[in-house]
Every structure is written in C-alpha cells, then in structure tokens.
Amino acid sequence: MAPPGIAFERSRSGLKGTYPSGMAARGKSGQRIEPSFGGVDSDDDDLRVEASDRVSGSARRPARGKSESGKRKARGKRGSQRGSGSGGGFFGLVRRLAYWCIVLGIWGAIGIGGLVLYYGARMPSATSWSIPDRPPNVKILSVSGDIIANRGATGGEALSLENMSPYIPQAVIAIEDRRFYSHFGVDPLGLARAMLTNLTTGRMVQGGSTLTQQLAKNLFLSPERTLERKVQEVLLALWLEQKYSKDQILAMYLNRVFFGSNAYGVEAASRRYFNKSARDVNLGEAAVLAGLLKAPSRLSPARDPDAAEERAQVVLGAMREEGFVTDAEIKTAMSQTPTKAKSFWSGAEHYVADMVMDQLPGMIGEINQDLVIDTTIDLTLEKKAEEAISATLDAEGGKLNASQAALVSIDGTGAIRALVGGRDYAESQFDRASKAKRQPGSAFKPFVYAAALEIGRTPMSVRNDAPVRIGNWTPENYDQKYRGEVTLADALANSLNTIAAALVMEVGPQNVVKLAHRLGIDSEMQANASIALGTSEVSLVELTSSYAPFMNGGFKATPHVIRRISTADGTVLYENTYDNPPRVLDPAIVSEMNQMMVRVLTDGTGKKARIKGWEAAGKTGTTQSFRDALFVGFTSNLTTGVWFGNDDGKSMKKVTGGGLPAKAWHDFMTAAHEGLSPSPLFGTTGVQPMFDNGGAVAGPGTLPDGFATANPDAFPEPPASVDGTAAIEQVRPASGESAGPIPPAGVGETTGATRRTTLFELLTGG
C-alpha cells in the first residue's frame, strides 16, 4: 500500500505519482533525491526504500528480489480472483451452459404448455370423448359353420388378444413399441431416440409415436401431419391410457390398423394373405403382419413378397432381442417358404360372399351392426367345383380358345351348395353364374318338351324330322341332316331343332314361356318360335334352378344362398328354410321328362357327363358359332349347371355343350357323390311308356293349321348355328371391370405418392 500522502494515477507508461511538497523524487539522471522526514528509524528506512523502488522502478538488488517474489504472488492471487469471479475456464463454460439450458428449458416448457393449452382448447370437452364404433363386419358362414369370408369396411371380425395367435401382439410390440407396457401413452425415450436417428440420417428412419398415439390418430384424427394434430394426438393418447387397460388398447389397435391390400385388422389381413384365421398364424406369418405396419401398401406380400419377407426378418430379430422367442424358433421361422399372396382375395367362395352382400340390403335394409350370415354353401363342394373348372380350363381351355367358365350346383330345395363365378376371382370378380345372362341354346328344350307333355304328348309320340317352315324361318338340325320318323324321346336325346320348333308351334310359344317362368326362369323371354332353341337370355343360376323340379318330383326350387341372418349376440333377423315349395309340375310329367333326359347321357349328346354307378339326366346347349356351351343335369342328389365361353363373346373352337361343360360336370358330380349310396331319379323305375293318338305320325314338314302361313314377323328367323340359335347381345363383364368389394380408404391407408419429409416429422417421428 502506498504511503500516506501519495496518490497514483494510471498512465500509458505505468503508474505516475503525485508527490506532496517536501518529499524526495528521482531526477532524470537517476540520482535519488532524499526528502527530509525527521525522526525516522531504520525500519522506516526500509519502508522508504521499498516505496521509492515502487515509484522509480529501480531498487537495490536485495530489495528487488523480495519485491519480485511479492509481485508474483500478487499476480497469482489476482489471476485466481479473475478466474473465479469472471467465469473463465472449462468449469465456468459448463456452469454457463447449464444456466442457459435451464433458462431455455423453462421457456420451452412455458411455450409447450401454451401450445397444449391452445390446441387443447380447440378440442371438444374430454367428457364427450368416446371410442368410435368399429365399422360393422359381416361374417359369412358355410352350412357347416366354417367361415367363407368377412365383408364390410374392415374385411374381418374383431378378435380379443386371447383369441389371436400370441405371436401377433409380441411381434407388433417388439418392432413398433418396445416399452408399450411401461410408458404412460407417450414414450420420451423412444421419441428422443427417433429424433436423434432421424436428424443423424436426415430422413425418416424411426417413428417416435407409441401404439397408443397411433391408435389415437387412427380413431380420432386426420392423417395430415401438423403440429396441432400432434398435440391433439398426445392428449388423446393420455386419455386412452387413463380410460383403458394396456391390453384393451393393444386389442383395439390390432383390430383396426391398416395392413395393406384392403385389409383392416389382423383377422382380415391373416385371411387376405394366408387364407387362415389370425387365431392360427405361426411365428413367421406374425412377423410378416407386424412388418407391414411400417409401410402397408409397399410391403404387402401381394405386391412385393421379397420386401415383405425382408421386413419380417427384421421383426424376428427384434422379437429375439426382447426375449419373446428363442434362437431355435427364429431358425424355424426363417426356414419357412416366404408368403406369396395374390393381388386380390382368391378363392371361388368370394363369388358367394359377393352374392350375399348384394342380397343383404333387400332383406334387412342398412347394415349398421355386426352380422352373422348362415349360408347354404358346402365348402367341400365349393372347393371341388373350383377344382373341376380350373382343371378343365387348364387342360383344354387354351387350345380350344375357352378362357372362362362358371358352375352352380343346388339341391332339391333350391339351396345353392356350390357356386363358381369364373376362372379366378383374384383376376376377375364378375360373377358369370348369377350376373351374366346368355342364350341357353338347346339347354332350353326340356321346357318345350314338358309343355308338350302337359297337352297330352308322351315320350313315345312320333314326329317326322324333315324340313319345316315357320313363316320365313326354316330351322335346321346342327348336322344339317334329317332322320325321318322319330319319337320325342329320340328327338330330345339328339337335340333335333326341327322337332323342337314344331312342338313350340303345337303348344304355343306363350305356353312354353309360362311353363319356364313357372319352373323358375325369372328373365323376360320372347314368345316366338325361336324360343324353342333358347334365344332368350337367362342366367346360369336361374336355368339350373329351373331343372330342379325334374329332380325333386315337380316342386319349385327357388335358388337361395342365405338361410339365416343374425346379429353378433344371436338375435335372428331373417330366416327362411324354403321347406314349403309350391308344386309346379305333375309327377307324371316329371317321370316322363326324366326318362327322356336320361337318354341324353346314355345315348345322346351328353355321353361325356355319365357318372359311374349313378343315374343322371340332363341336356346340352350350344349357341351360335360356338360362343357359349352349357350342360345342365341332375342326379337324385344335386342339380348342376356348367357354362364355358369367353367374356368378349369370341367363338371357341367347336366347343359344344357335350364337350368341355359335360366333362367338367362329370368331374364335379363324381367328386360330389363320393361316399354316397346311389339312388334312382324320380319316376324312372316301374313306369311304362305311353303313346298319344295311337302313335300317329305327323306328316312331313307339317304343323298345326295356320302356322305354316303365319305372320313371318311373329317368328323371326335366327341365323344358322350349331343349335339354330340367334346371336343376340349378351351380358358380359365390361373391360377391366372388377365387381368385387373394395373397402373404402380408411385409417392408416396411404396413397402411395412420394412425399417430402419435413423437419417437424423428423423430430416427432411422424
């Protein structure tokens, strides 16, 4: 400290002193100027020297050493004070960083709280929140109770966790939300991990949303990605966690999430990709399902099986890390053949499901709850029918230019036991059995002969097969030959056009049409002479059901596929057993017709349809230029109709009703009757043939009075053809038409369009 009376001020060259009068100062020459103090002892001399040294910057050597040591200590002390006081050094940097982190954290919390309050205030009151009802599902069952299909917006019923394969929830948790059972609806650790990964890679690699958040988004929010939606998603997730258990949340998620290919929920996805219930999927299949959640459309096995399998391997690895499965189970799952699914639902039973869905609104009105539909379909017969059609087309369809076929089989009550609407449902969902209307050709002739029997003709009535003229129309036989005197039984067996046309004129076209309507033909028909050769269009279902009265003894067999409609709790909304059908044919007429149609298979055009050990009857049909070929026949057990042709109406290569249709009919009916005891057709045993008019033969080319000179316009001449039928416009699927059900876009579905990833999405994990 400076002596009293000395004041210092800082200058560029150092410290400059201002001295009071009487004190010594050093001159320019460096000589010391001694002041006169009086009464100062030796200690005072030392003090004086030190003070002088500090002022002048020079000192004696002993005193200098002491002064430098003291100054170093002073500088060290001052440096220490600066380090602690001004925040310098590493620890100071850490303290400053911690301080600002706390400040920013507080302001961030205030900002987030404000956003939550703001966007939360825009939402309805939490007391009004409720889980929206799952879209109603229609479960369609076979006659034995097996599931044919699930239809509705979701395409599958809801299953509890206990009822689905345990691998499914394990796989989903392992790959989507490993801390699902420990977080409170939002996973800060998972969000932080996703943020770091996404920022590091610069793109969306991981999602930070929990399963609860995903469920909240799917249930309540739009798919747009905004800050407001994210805040609302978090609030809803917290609400879900408070209101429902973890198992309930997981079950709701698995039953509603989109799995690609129009499948919503694990049951729909399992049946779509594996053709089995979610109850029965194995480890590898569960991994495929869980893998789809990342990108349902892109990773669908129906679109890219390799990508789906690659993603499944990642899921299996995650399951192993979580301890859900062992290495041995992983090895077994990885050795399984990768799943390959068709681009659409496959299996002929889906034609049946479409028919059911078409009929439901007319029976119960709007579908607003889960329904269970009991049908008449026998799934075993359905599979056999599909196999028969596919095998015939695969073997001969290509070389004979036949690309499509249909089959329907019904019992004596009209219950449809099997229906195949086309070659492959996955490729075309148009139902050619029930929706397509085409000319039946000679397959319509049994109605003509039955009408003739009703006015007194018999199977043994004789007519002359010779050229006949009806107005301006002169029908010809398919081989352009004439056989002279023939019985009606022979004429039907050999499908003679001249005799059928003559019978129409004897009976009257309007009476033939009335009988056909009475037996089950619903389509409008033209009452003219050419009706004998099947020129009016009908569907295969109505044509086949109209043959059933010949099988069951003369009762109408109204075709139906729905037996009962019930709610999920068992309440019956509709039921019809069709157990009191009206009689439409006299048993004697049935007996005579059956005897005649048996000969079609034994001696006539339908020989390829014969079934070993079983008595069967039926009729072939072929339309103009081989555009359509049919065979409709029956045993005492089933009536079955088969059609072959092309959707575009192109001609086949000389395919007749006795060719491919008769072969497919034989294959199906043989398989359908395996293990059953043969029984004869109604009225074919113990019945003696009868003659009308003493067996008189009508004159060559003659018809009842008036018909030969009738108005030509009443009997238009059909173009020449195999069966003499006319080529008129037929109902066929439009080019590219897909009549199958396409569930509307719903939760989780993507459009597949490329979209840029934003910084907000990187931070929030989507």
**Catalytic residues, which ones?**
176, 442
Measured CA to CA, the distance from residue 155 to residue 267 in angstroms comes to 8
Confirm if 24 and 32 have CB atoms less than 8 A apart: yes
Measured CA to CA, the distance from residue 53 to residue 423 in angstroms comes to 117
Region of 570 on the Ramachandran plot (φ > 0 left; ψ -120 to 50 alpha; else beta): left
Measured CA to CA, the distance from residue 483 to residue 485 in angstroms comes to 6
Measured CA to CA, the distance from residue 730 to residue 185 in angstroms comes to 60
* HEC sequence for 671-688: HHCCCCCCCCCCCCCCCC
Question: For the residues of 72-114, what is the DSSP string, one character each?
Answer: HHHHHHHHHHHHHHHT-SHHHHHHHHHHHHHHHHHHHHHHHHH
Residue located via tokens 């991981």: 206
Confirm if 489 and 496 have CB atoms less than 8 A apart: no
Number of H helices, E strands in the chain: 22, 16
SS3 at position 251: helix
Phi–psi pair at 620, nearest 5 degrees = -85, 160
Phi–psi pair at 125, nearest 5 degrees = -60, 140
Structure tokens at 146: 């097996």
Q: Give me the residues paired with residue 645 across strands.
A: 404, 628
E strand or H helix that includes residue 599: helix 587-602
Measured CA to CA, the distance from residue 180 to residue 210 in angstroms comes to 7
- Rounded to 5°, the CA angle 22-55-39 comes to 40
Q: Where are the beta strands (DSSP E) in 94-217?
A: 137-141, 147-152
For residue 294, with 0-12 CB atoms within 10 Å meaning exposed, 13-18 middle and 19 or more buried, which class applies? middle
Confirm if 487 and 459 have CB atoms less than 8 A apart: yes
For the chain, how far is it from start to end, CA to CA, in angstroms?
70
Confirm if 321 and 205 have CB atoms less than 8 A apart: no
Q: Give me the residues paired with residue 697 across strands.
A: 462
Report the Cα 674 to chain-centroid distance in Å.
35
SS3 at position 568: coil
SS3 at position 387: helix
Measured CA to CA, the distance from residue 616 to residue 609 in angstroms comes to 9
